[in-house]
């Protein structure tokens, strides 16, 4: 499915992760390859050993929706300060959160998370603020809604926030039972993490600097990670192909990839299939692939603002391999998104 999206530009970012309490610290750690996977959580029922994880060390740790608000509010506040904006009643806050079917997800997220965030940053809310459940795809759908709000003149800035924590006991046990955690007994899995991330976007015309989103693609995969159908990577390939076409580029013209790969073989295979189909011309340099989950743990709903912020930082500071990047991600329910980013 093609989703045409006029150009957007990222103008600010904020982050709270296992490797940093703000965006500069987190991005410096990612660039240096510093891992936040240092902690231990609940024991794996198969091996008996505690599961390694990437925990954000907070002065006071709550649970449930309170924890999610504590993770995201500092990132939102940082993003607003970086953009020089305090008129939160005019800036929609679109939040990506966990899928509603995930075991261990707080039951009151949809009802209370937005209110708690505005309370923590001590600011009035915007009537257009919304929650987008969907794990990795939640913020992707939020980005599409941001485009509609900006194009329709409902706002001149939109905040995209993502927050998640996979360190709750019921969540850990659910993924351990389905053998999706990286443990002493399973080498095909991910390390759970938690984070709150945010970016502020605006319409590209008239804006200077930042990162431009010049192409978007979306497709749905039927051979999901928990399905028995053979994986061929058709949806991710389609999403990338659509994003490249809308940006007026081919895969060999893109310098590097920034992805949500987490350590599970499924996603690596899917990414390889897509590249084999689309990246067939000779390259002068390797097609680098950056995956921050390696350092932050699996942060699911918080991943897209992180990918955008890291790409933007690489463009601004001059350590990106080129001026165009491909960002792609997918959620367990089959949604696949691809974005082409260009240095502005």
DSSP 200-211: EEEESTT--SSE
Angle formed at CA 318 by CA 314 and CA 321, multiple of 5 degrees? 75
Answer for the pair 183, 176: CB distance below 8 angstroms, yes or no.
yes
219 DSSP 8-state letter: E
The Cα 18–Cα 39 span in angstroms is 10
List of the chain residues with pLDDT < 50: 1-4
Residue 2: per-residue pLDDT: 44
Beta partners for residue 95, in sequence order: 131, 161
- C-alpha dihedral sign at 139, 143, 146, 152: negative
Q: Decide if 80 contacts 23 (C-beta within 8 A).
A: no
pTM of the model: 0.95
Q: Which residues pair with 158 in a beta bridge?
A: 201
Residue of 305, 283, 285, 303 lying closest to 294 (CA atoms): 303
Residue 285's pLDDT is 85
Tally of residues, the chain:
344
Q: DSSP characters for 285-340?
A: S--EEE-THHHH-B-GGGHHHHHHHHHHHHHHHT-SSSSEEEEEEE-TTSEEEEEE
pLDDT at 282: 83
CATH T-level fold of 10-203: Peroxisomal Thiolase; Chain A, domain 1 (3.40.47)
pLDDT in tens, 19-31: 999 999 999 999 9
What CATH architecture does domain 211-343 belong to?
3-Layer(aba) Sandwich (3.40)
**Is the separation of the CB atoms in 338 and 326 below 8 Å?**
yes
CA distances from 180 to 64, 163, 174, 226 (A): 22, 21, 9, 10
Tokens for 333? 């329910």
Of the candidates 195, 259, 235, 253, the one whose C-alpha atom is nearest the C-alpha of residue 333 is 235
Residue 148, C-beta contacts closer than 8 angstroms, at least 6 positions apart: none
Contact between 217 and 239 under an 8 Å Cβ cutoff? The reply is yes
Q: Around 184, how many Cα atoms within 13 Å sit in the side-chain half-sphere?
A: 10
Task: Please give the backbone phi and psi of residue 252, each rounded to the nearest 5 degrees, phi first.
Answer: -60, -15
The sign one gets for the Cα dihedral 86, 91, 96, 101 is positive
Q: Which of 326, 206, 160, 164 is nearest to 257 (CA)?
A: 326
The first and second tokens of residue 26, run together, are 């987190």
Outline which parts of the chain fall under CATH 3.40.47.10. Answer: 10-203, 211-343
pLDDT for 4 equals 47
Distance CA 18, CA 261 (A): 17
- Residues contacting residue 19 through CB under 8 Å, at least 6 positions apart: 25, 26, 29, 30, 34, 35, 36, 54, 295, 296
Find all residues with CB under 8 Å of 56, minimum gap 6, and list them: 16, 17, 18, 71, 194, 195
pLDDT at site 310: 98
């Amino acid at each position: 499915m093609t989703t045409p999206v006029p150009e957007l530009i990222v103008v600010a970012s904020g982050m709270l992760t296992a490797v940093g309490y703000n965006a500069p610290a987190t991005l410096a750690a990612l660039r240096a390859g510093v891992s936040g996977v240092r902690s231990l959580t609940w024991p794996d029922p198969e091996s008996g050993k505690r599961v390694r994880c990437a925990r954000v060390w907070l002065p006071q740790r709550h649970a449930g929706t309170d924890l999610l608000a504590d993770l995201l509010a500092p990132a939102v506040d940082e993003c607003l300060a970086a953009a020089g904006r305090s008129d939160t009643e005019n800036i929609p806050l679109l939040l990506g959160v966990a899928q509603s079917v995930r075991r261990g997800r707080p039951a009151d997220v949809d009802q209370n998370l937005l209110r708690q965030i505005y309370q923590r940053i001590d600011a009035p809310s915007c009537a257009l603020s919304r929650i987008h459940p969907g794990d990795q795809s939640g913020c992707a759908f939020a980005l599409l809604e941001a485009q509609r709000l900006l194009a329709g003149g409902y706002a001149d800035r939109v905040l995209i926030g993502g927050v998640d924590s996979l360190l709750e006991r019921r969540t850990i046990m659910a993924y351990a039972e389905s053998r999706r955690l990286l443990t002493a007994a399973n080498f095909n899995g991910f390390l759970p993490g938690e984070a709150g991330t945010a970016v502020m976007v605006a319409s590209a015309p008239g804006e200077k600097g930042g990162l431009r989103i010049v192409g978007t693609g979306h497709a749905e995969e039927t051979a999901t990670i928990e399905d028995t159908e053979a994986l061929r990577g058709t949806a991710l390939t389609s999403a990338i192909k659509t994003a490249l076409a809308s940006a007026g580029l081919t895969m060999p013209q893109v310098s590097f990839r920034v992805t949500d790969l987490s350590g599970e073989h499924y996603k690596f295979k899917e990414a390889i299939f897509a590249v084999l189909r689309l990246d067939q011309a000779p390259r002068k340099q390797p097609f680098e692939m950056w995956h921050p989950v390696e350092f932050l743990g699996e942060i699911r709903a918080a991943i897209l603002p992180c990918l955008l912020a890291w790409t933007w930082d690489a463009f601004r500071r001059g350590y990106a391999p080129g001026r165009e990047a491909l960002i792609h991600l997918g959620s367990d329910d089959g949604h696949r998104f691809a974005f082409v980013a260009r240095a502005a």
